[in-house]
């Protein structure tokens, strides 16, 4: 049917294919170049930050360290929410408990947190426009081993929520500083 309409107007689909193919090749080449630039720039930062996080929090990730919240809520739970002033923890805990379950899984939660913070460190390097490999790796290492994150790792049942919040914050800063912020905002 489409070819019949094209014949009525004097053009064939086979005549249009080379133009579509050329546009696709231009777009594909641009995407390959963009991916190569991103991978080349952030591969080292990602690897150094991730392995620093695994090394720094290896003991906490591979062991269950109980604190006052996890003792109160053992074997499953999300800690004391409204009673200690953390009202959204109650909302989030009930939601996650309904679909997944609230369990203290140090390896799972810790690795997700390290992954989110590692991606956040790469975004920070992009926002600060750090091109030096040494300084970008130091930035990632400092970001993953910051004392606030280290103390959050002791609350292993919520650390992935906090890491996700940091990731969203850093992503918001990135979009606020980028050229495409008007489109996304």
- Which of the 8 DSSP states describes residue 76? B
Judge whether 127 and 177 are in contact, CB under 8 Å.
yes
DSSP category for residue 84: G
C-alpha span between 36 and 22 (Å, rounded): 21
What is the structure's pLDDT at 6? 47
Q: What is the torsion angle, in degrees rounded to the nearest 10, for the CA atoms of residue 150, residue 154, residue 156 and residue 158?
A: -80
pLDDT at residue number 79: 64
pLDDT at site 27: 72
* Half-sphere exposure at residue 41, Cβ-oriented, CA atoms within 13 angstroms: 18
Q: Read off the pTM.
A: 0.70
Q: In whole angstroms, give the CA distance from residue 88 to residue 127.
A: 29
Cβ neighbours, 10 Å, residue 173: 14
Query: What angle is formed at CA 132 by the lines to CA 129 and CA 134, rounded to 5 degrees?
Result: 125
42 or 120: which leads in pLDDT? 120
**How confident is the model over 149-158, as pLDDT tens digits?**
888 888 887 7
| pLDDT digits 0-9 by tens, 98-136 | 777 766 778 888 999 999 999 999 999 988 888 888 999
Q: What is the share, in percent, of the chain residues with pLDDT greater than 70?
A: 72
Per-residue model confidence as pLDDT tens digits over 24-33: 777 777 777 7
Question: What span, in angstroms and rounded, lies between the C-alpha atoms of 67 and 76?
Answer: 14
DSSP character at residue 55: H
């Amino acid at each position: 049917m489409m070819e019949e309409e094209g014949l009525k107007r004097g053009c064939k689909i086979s005549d249009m294919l080379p133009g579509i193919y050329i546009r696709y090749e231009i777009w594909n080449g641009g995407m390959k170049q963009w991916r190569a630039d991103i991978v080349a720039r952030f591969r080292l930062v990602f690897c150094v930050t991730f392995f620093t996080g695994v090394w720094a929090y290896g003991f906490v990730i591979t062991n269950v360290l109980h604190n006052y919240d996890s003792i109160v809520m053992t074997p499953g739970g999300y800690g004391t929410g409204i009673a200690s002033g953390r009202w959204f923890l109650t909302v989030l805990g009930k939601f996650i408990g309904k679909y997944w379950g609230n369990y203290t899984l140090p390896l799972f939660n810790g690795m997700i947190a390290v992954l989110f913070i590692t991606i956040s460190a790469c975004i920070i390097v992009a926002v600060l426009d750090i091109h030096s490999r040494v300084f970008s790796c130091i930035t990632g290492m400092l970001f993953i081993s910051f004392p606030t994150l280290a103390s959050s790792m002791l609350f292993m049942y919520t650390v992935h929520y906090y890491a996700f919040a940091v990731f969203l914050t850093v992503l918001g800063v990135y979009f606020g500083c980028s050229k495409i912020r008007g489109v996304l905002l």
